[in-house]
Amino acid sequence: MKNGLVMREASATDMLRMEEIRRAAFEPVFASFRAMLGDELYELVQAREDEAQSELLLSLPDAESGWELYVAEIDGTVVGFVAVQLNHETGVGEIGLNAVDPSHAGKGIGTSMYNFALTRMKEGGMNAATVATGADASHAPARRAYRKAGFAAEIPSVWMCRRL
């Protein structure tokens, strides 16, 4: 792959590094959510979801999860990860939780991971692929990478909150 990037199936020994990457990559996203919602509303409606993302990552390697988990490596160092789901009933593949180490951002690693995931989906007999991301400014790099990987059809969404 590009720039010596190697994609391989994640192992148990990769989990700590993937968690470090997840935390660093999503820190600005969660800070953005807090800024948009304000501290009080963020704590009420979003904080638990953000904290649960770590548990989600830990659950992905379980056979019952329905996900395949891959890491992106450069010179033996994990620099990103991507979860892939193949739904053989619907023929639709999904890119799930994924992240690139912020110190490696902007180098095409995300796009390479998504192209790898799309190839895996094609090999698995999928007819279409989906990925979900935020429409806020903190998700702009992810949207750019998904678009570079060929995702063009979009359904905008707005999640609204209020204090009662």
Whose tokens are 């935390």? That residue is: 23
pLDDT at residue 124, rounded to an integer: 97
> Residue 155 burial by CB count (10 A; 0-12/13-18/19+): exposed, middle or buried?
exposed
pLDDT at residue 86, rounded to an integer: 98
Task: Give the phi and the psi of residue 109 in degrees, each rounded to 5.
Answer: -65, -45
* Domains of the chain by residue range: 2-148
The answer to pTM > 0.85 is: yes
Quickly state the pLDDT bin for 2 (edges 50, 70, 90). low
Share of the chain above pLDDT 90, in %: 88
For residue 146, the surrounding DSSP H or E stretch is: helix 140-148
Fold of 2-148: Aminopeptidase (3.40.630)
Q: Residue 158, SS3?
A: coil
Quickly state the pLDDT bin for 156 (edges 50, 70, 90). confident
pLDDT at 73 over 90: yes
For residue 71, the surrounding DSSP H or E stretch is: strand 68-74
pLDDT, tens digit (0-9, with 9 covering 90-100), for 82-135: 999 999 999 999 999 999 999 999 999 999 999 999 999 999 999 999 999 998
